[in-house]
Chains A and B, each alone.
Chain A
Amino acid sequence: MTEPSETTGDLLVPIFFMGKRYNVPASLTIQKALEYAGYQHIRGCGCRGGVCGACGTVYRIPDSYKLQVGLACQTVVQSGMHLMIMPYYPGNRSIFDIEKMSGTGGEIAALYPEIYKCIGCNACSQGCPMDIDVMHYMAQAIRGDVPGVAETSFDCIMCGLCASRCPAEEVQFNVAILARRLNARHRIPRAKHLEERVKEVTDGKFEQPLRDLMSRSTEELKELYRSRESEPQMTEDDWVPLNARYV
Chain B
Amino acid sequence: MPYPEPLKKLIEKVEATRPARVERKLKEEEFPPLKLEERDPVLRNFHPDFIEGTRREIKVGPSKGYAISNEIVDLLEARSRVNPYLVSLSKPDYETDVLVIGAGGAGTAAAILAAENGAKVLIATKLRHGDANTMMAEGGIQAADKVGKDSPYYHYLDILGGGHFLNDPELVYTMVQNAPDAVKWLEGLGTSFSKFEDGRMKTMHGGGTCRKRMHYAADITGAEIMKTIRDEARNHTDMIEVIEFCPAVELVLDDNGRCAGAVLYNLETAEYHYVKAKAVIIATGGSGRLHIQNFMTTNHYGATADGIVMAYRAGVPISFLHTVQYHPTGVVFPEQAEGILITEKFRGAGANVLNIHGEQFVYEREPRDVEAACIIRECSPKGRGNGVPTPTGKFGVWLDSPMIELLKGEGTVRKEFPGKHILFRRFGIDISKEPMLIHPTLHYQNGGLDINSKCETNVPGLYAAGEVSGGVHGENRLMGNSLLDVIVFGRIAGEQAAEYASKHTESGYANLDHVKRYNEELETAGIEGERIAPMILPDYSNPEVREKQLTKDYFGTLS
Q: Does A18 contact B (CB under 8 A)?
A: no
Q: Judging by beta carbons under 8 Å apart, are A231 and B205 in contact?
A: yes
Q: Which of A115-160 contact B (CB under 8 A)?
A: 130-131, 150, 154-155, 157-158
Hey, which chain B residues are within 8 Å of A76, CB to CB? Answer: 336
| Interface pick from B305-313, B371-379, B536-544 | B536-544
Q: Which residue, of B191, B211, B542, has the highest number of chain A Cβ atoms within 10 A?
A: B542
Given contacts A46-B300, A51-B419, A214-B169, contact A233 B28 (CB under 8 A): yes
Find chain A residues with CB under 8 A from B267 CB. 42
Q: Which one of A58-66, A78-86, A163-171, A217-225 is at the B interface?
A: A217-225
Contact: A213 with B541, CB < 8 Å? no
Partner of A206, one of B151, B188, B190, B191: B151
Confirm or deny: A183 has a beta carbon within 8 angstroms of a beta carbon on chain B.
yes
Question: Shortest Cβ distance from B547 into chain A, in angstroms?
Answer: 10
A88 vs B157: C-alpha distance when bound (angstroms): 45
Q: Which of A49, A177, A226, A228 is the one whose CB lies under 8 Å from B340?
A: A49
Given contacts A52-B135, A210-B176, contact A191 B423 (CB under 8 A): no
Q: Report yes or no: A74 in contact with B199, Cβ–Cβ below 8 A.
A: no
Residues of B within 8 A of A38 (CB): 541-542, 545-546, 549
Q: How far is the CA of A240 from the CA of B151 in the complex (A)?
A: 12
Smallest beta-carbon distance A41→chain B, Å: 7
Interface assignment of B180: CB less than 8 Å from any CB of chain A = yes
How far apart are A109's CB and chain B's nearest CB, in angstroms?
18
CB within 8 Å: A-B pair count: 248
The CA-CA distance from A98 to B233 in the complex, in Å, is 12
Chain A binder among B70-78, B90-98, B124-132, B482-490? B124-132
Chain B residues whose CB sits within 8 angstroms of the CB of A39 once the complex forms: 541
Closest-by-CB residue of B relative to A214 is: B169
A93: CB under 8 A from chain B?
A: yes
The smallest C-beta distance from A192 to any residue of chain B, in angstroms, reads: 7
Q: Determine the residue in chain B with the shortest Cβ distance to A202.
A: B181
Chain B residues, Cβ within 8 Å of A190: 187, 199
Give, as a whole number of angstroms, the nearest-CB distance from B451 to chain A.
Answer: 18
Residues of chain A within 8 A of B540, CB atoms compared: 32, 35, 40
B340-366 contact mask (Cβ, 8 Å, vs A): 1 or 0: 110000000010000000000000000
**Whole-angstrom distance between the alpha carbons of A131 and B426 in the complex?**
11
Q: Are A197 and B145 in contact (CB under 8 A)?
A: yes
Chain A binding site: helix, strand, loop or mixed by DSSP? loop
Once the chains bind, are A46 and B150 in contact (CB under 8 Å)?
no
Which residues of the other chain, B, contact A52 by a CB distance below 8 angstroms? Answer: 130-131, 135-136, 223, 300
B231:A181 contact, CB within 8 angstroms: yes
Chain A: minimal CB distance from B306 (Å) = 15
Specify which of B148, B157, B337, B423 is in contact with A228 (CB 8 Å cutoff): B157
Q: Do B128 and A46 touch across chains, with their CB atoms under 8 A apart?
A: yes
Are A154 and B180 neighbours in the complex by a CB distance under 8 Å? Answer: no
**Size class of A's contact patch?**
35 or more
Minimum distance in angstroms from B351 CB to a CB of chain A? 11
Contact A48:B188 (CB < 8 A) given known A177-B231, A210-B177, A221-B157 = no
Interface of chain B residues 409 through 429 with chain A (CB within 8 A): 418-419, 422-423, 426
0/1 interface trace, chain A 173-210, chain B, CB 8 Å (1 if under): 00001101111111011111111111011000010011
The smallest C-beta distance from B512 to any residue of chain A, in angstroms, reads 25
B272 at the interface (CB under 8 A from A): no
* Complex: A186 Cα to B161 Cα, angstroms: 38
Considering only CB atoms, which chain A residue lies closest to B421 in the complex?
Answer: A155
With contacts A38-B549, A130-B422, A218-B165 taken as known, whether A95 is within 8 angstroms of B151 at the C-beta atoms is: no
Residue of B whose beta carbon sits closest to that of A218: B165
Assess whether B558 is interfacial by the CB under 8 Å rule: no
* Chain A, Cβ-Cβ closest to B211: A231
A233→B131 contact, CB < 8 A? no
Of all chain A residues, the one with the shortest Cβ separation from B546 is: A38
Are the C-beta atoms of A224 and B146 separated by less than 8 Å? no
Residues in B neighbouring A193, C-beta threshold 8 A: 145-147, 200-201
Cα distance, A48 to B407, chains bound together (Å): 32
B residues lining the A interface (CB < 8 Å): 25-26, 28, 30, 36, 127-128, 130-131, 135-136, 144-154, 156-158, 160-161, 165, 169-170, 173, 176-178, 180-181, 183-184, 187-193, 195-201, 203, 205, 210-212, 218, 220, 223, 227-228, 231-232, 234-235, 237, 245, 267-268, 298, 300-301, 335-337, 340-341, 350, 407, 418-419, 422-423, 426, 537, 539-546, 549
Given contacts A41-B301, A49-B340, 9 further A-B contacts (CB under 8 A): A46-B300, A50-B340, A154-B218, A177-B227, A180-B228, A181-B228, A206-B152, A221-B160, A225-B161
